Amino acid sequence: MEVLTASQSKVSMRNEDDTIDLDTDTTETIMGNMYFKTADNAPGDDQIRFYPMVEYTEPGTYEVRGNIIRLDNKTNGRIEWNATNFAGFWYDLDDDLMTETLWINASVLTSTPNGTDEDRTIDEDKLYYRTSPVFQEYELHENEADPDREYLTPMESVNTMTPPHRLWDCALKAIAIVVTVVTSLKALWQRSI
């Protein structure tokens, strides 16, 4: 994924230079730990089924999948995932806030009932991802350890302010975005040499 824009209000990316093939029984990288996983179709089942997933490996491996897309000859609209249909994206239940969207432009993928005229490739410039910051207020507690955790951070062990554990998820996503931006900038720089 290449960065289109990166500002204080949003980060937008698209698959500018890469195609993504949705062959049967494959896991194709979108970016970082985000993938498209396709079905291992049974004989005679020519329908393209796939979903986005995020794989987390700390402390174990977990697959987080989004809604399954079933392409047929009637599927011609934009295919979209957000926090309502893909649990890998950030969602604040209390305030009903979400900031991430992944979509494939309309009519990029096609399927026919007999599977003779199908397109399983997401072409260049057809896959998009967008996120934006949202204001979040956190409650800080001085001189208190988080009772939901089994260990203390170094700062907590010296009896200082507890960092909010909810910041960890945001920090991981921010790190992933920074790594993606740096990787994209490095690739652009290398092409310009």
- Do residue 148 and residue 176 come from a single domain? yes
Two tokens, residue 152: 């203390």
**Secondary-structure breakdown of the chain: helix, strand, coil percentages, each rounded to the nearest 5:** 15, 30, 55
- Number of domains comprising the chain: 2
Residue 58 structural domain: 2-131
- Do residue 119 and residue 148 come from a single domain? no
Q: Taking Cα atoms as reference points, which of 16, 9, 7 lies closest to residue 128?
A: 16
- Do residue 73 and residue 125 come from a single domain? yes
- Do residue 25 and residue 115 come from a single domain? yes
- Do residue 189 and residue 156 come from a single domain? yes
- Do residue 170 and residue 106 come from a single domain? no
- Do residue 39 and residue 124 come from a single domain? yes
Neighbour-count burial for 115-147, b at 16+ CB within 10 Å, e otherwise: eeebebebeeebbbbbbeeeeeeeeeeeeeeee
- Do residue 29 and residue 59 come from a single domain? yes
Q: Taking Cα atoms as reference points, which of 28, 70, 21 lies closest to residue 47?
A: 70
- Do residue 110 and residue 75 come from a single domain? yes
Q: Which of 131, 154, 183 is the last residue of a domain?
A: 131
- Do residue 113 and residue 188 come from a single domain? no
Q: Which of 103, 131, 159 is the last residue of a domain?
A: 131
- Do residue 55 and residue 13 come from a single domain? yes
Residue 162, pLDDT score: 41
- Do residue 144 and residue 193 come from a single domain? yes
- Pairing state of beta strands 62-65 and 49-56? antiparallel
Q: Which of 92, 115, 131 is the last residue of a domain?
A: 131
Task: Kindly state the helix (H) or strand (E) to which residue 192 belongs, with its residue range.
Answer: helix 166-192
Residue-level pLDDT, tens digit, the chain, 193 residues: 888 899 988 999 988 878 888 888 889 999 888 999 888 777 777 777 788 888 888 888 888 888 888 876 666 678 899 998 998 998 887 677 889 999 998 777 776 666 666 778 888 888 999 999 888 777 776 666 566 666 656 555 544 444 555 555 666 677 777 777 777 777 776 776 6
**Which segments of 127-165 does DSSP mark as H helices, in order?**
154-157
